[in-house]
Amino acid sequence: MSDLMDRLNATPVVPLIAATDANTGVKTARALVEGGLTVLEIVLRTPASMEALQAICEQVPEAISGAGTVLTAAQAEETVKRGAQFIVSPGLTEGVVKTAQANDVPILAGIATATELQQAYNYDLRTVKFFPAGLAGGPKMLKAFSSVFQGVKFMPTGGVSAANLGDYLANPAVLACGGSWLTPADAIASGDYAAVTKLAKEAVAIAKQARA
Cβ count within 10 A of residue 190: 10
N-term to C-term CA, the chain: 24
Our answer to whether residue 98 is catalytic in this structure is: no
Catalytic annotation, pick one of 129, 153, 201, 208? 129
Does residue 198 carry a catalytic annotation?
no
Q: How far apart are CA 107 and CA 208, in angstroms?
A: 25
Q: How far apart are CA 9 and CA 61, in angstroms?
A: 20
C-alpha–C-alpha distance, residues 67 and 76, integer Å: 8
Catalytic residue among 27, 41, 78, 153: 41
Helix (H) or strand (E) holding 166: helix 165-169
Query: Which of 123, 120, 181 is closest to 145 using CA atoms?
Result: 120
Residues annotated as part of the active site = 41, 129
